[in-house]
């Protein structure tokens, strides 16, 4: 592996390179929730599923939220990221006040008693995962661009249609130029 390859850590973002042709990850922004010798996993922040949360959970009352497509692995699982303070019990800290998962019954109570807004939580079907060494290999092939330590605002507040471009622009230099690349270079 090249010495200038940046290895992601929990709380970092992976941005697909501008011409990645994989439909699962084209122009994707993935929040890394875990990266170690056993592999890596995270959630695509800027792809929506074709389901509403209420389609997946009958227990919810009056909470309209579109599910995000977390990735192509185990699309029959439901996950959530949140910035609830205090955090939901048993949630896993990711970074900067962002948490993954937690006590689902407590979460349902917060939603059904309207103590939680859709701006503080994102729900995902499936996730993105890599086996041991797989992500490092893809990084050395320059498939991904690593953005260190995402902010809660990047995760929750930037409209998903603009997220890939906005993060690249914030990185400056050649990444700012990447943000303007067309999806299909033949259209340029």
Cα first-last separation, the chain: 33
- Residue-wise pLDDT for 116-140, tens only, equals 888 999 999 999 999 999 999 999 9
Q: Report which secondary-structure segment, H or E, holds 166.
A: helix 160-171
Residue 46: left (phi > 0), alpha (psi -120 to 50), or beta? alpha
List domains and CATH numbers for the chain.
13-187 (3.40.1740.10)
What pTM was estimated for this model as a whole? 0.91
Residue 6 to residues 52, 110, 174, 177: CA-CA distances in angstroms? 36, 38, 16, 20
**Strand ranges inside 6-45, DSSP E:** 13-16, 29-36, 39-44
Q: Report which secondary-structure segment, H or E, holds 37.
A: none
Which pLDDT band, with edges at 50, 70 and 90, does 184 fall under?
A: low
- Residue-wise pLDDT for 163-174, tens only, equals 999 999 999 988
């Amino acid at each position: 592996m090249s010495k200038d390859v940046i290895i992601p850590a929990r709380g970092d973002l992976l941005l697909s390179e501008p011409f990645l042709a994989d439909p699962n990850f084209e122009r994707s922004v993935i929040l890394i929730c875990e990266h170690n010798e056993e592999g890596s996993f995270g959630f695509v922040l800027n792809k929506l599923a074709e389901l509403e949360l209420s389609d997946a959970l009958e227990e919810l009352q009056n909470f309209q939220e579109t599910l995000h497509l977390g990735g192509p692995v185990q699309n029959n699982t439901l996950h959530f990221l949140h910035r609830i303070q205090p955090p939901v019990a048993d949630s896993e800290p990711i970074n900067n006040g962002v948490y993954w998962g937690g006590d689902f019954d407590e979460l349902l109570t917060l939603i059904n008693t309207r103590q939680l807004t859709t701006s503080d939580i994102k729900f995902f079907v499936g996730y993105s995962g890599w086996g041991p060494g797989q992500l490092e290999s893809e990084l050395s092939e320059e498939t991904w661009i690593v953005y260190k330590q995402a902010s809660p605002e990047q995760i929750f507040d930037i409209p998903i249609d603009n997220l890939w471009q906005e993060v690249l622009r914030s990185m400056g230099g050649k990444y700012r130029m990447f943000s303007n690349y067309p999806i299909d270079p033949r259209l340029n």
